[in-house]
A and B are shown apart, each in its own frame.
Chain A
């Protein structure tokens, strides 16, 4: 399985875009990038996933580099409620479930 590397923590001013990076240099051609977040004391929440094209939903945008070795999760207008730990995970999307291992993620602090 491709491993991911994320910075342990980041700050972002409220109302500004939060850009959370993830390196996955050993990603395989059939592996997707998934993002989850965990707000304090709550269960993790799925945000978005993608293969190679940029993806956007109501929560965030996912930008994957052309070589697919890294990606960035973008929260366009961060609010205080976006303060959370963000996890980047790489998994195949076919062949059913693979054991999803959550690392320590990036702790995002949104500052008023």
Chain B
């Protein structure tokens, strides 16, 4: 199906474990993004990517690693999960040019770190 998909939708892990959240889009959009959403903080940008092999930090990048070897995939890795990283994570994508700021979001991945 066309669109943007995130996996897993739900994940429970333990402190110190490595976790990777996957994001896949079928539009060949140039830009991809990772946000986290917590009560009281709204949506906060973690990392974004303008193209394959080009990534940049957002507001809250500490503790996260991203890569983008292919245009359609943008995985987010928590190398050593902490309780403070319990959150809902949203991936998004957008075209380049005039619609670069029109983001399409995935359904979200709810991560719980025990």
Contact = CB atoms under 8 A, between A and B. Distances in A.
Interface of A: 32, 34, 36, 41-46, 49, 89, 91-94, 96-105
Interface stretch (B12-20, B63-71, B73-81, B90-98): B90-98
Given A96-B97, A101-B59, A45 B45 contact: no
B42 A32 contact: no
Contact of B105 (A41, A44, A98): A44
Contacts of A94: 98
DSSP class of A's interface residues: helix, strand, loop or mixed? Answer: loop
B107 interface: yes
A89 B58 CA distance: 17
B107 A46 contact: no
Query: Closest 10 interchain pairs by CB?
Result: A43-B105, A102-B43, A97-B100, A91-B101, A104-B42, A43-B90, A44-B105, A96-B100, A97-B31, A46-B102
Interface of B: 31, 33, 35, 42-43, 45, 48, 50, 58-59, 90, 92, 94, 96-98, 100-108
A39 B45 CA distance: 19
B100 A99 contact: no
Contacts of B59: 99, 101
Given A43-B106, A43-B108, A93 B98 contact: yes
A33 to B, nearest CB: 11
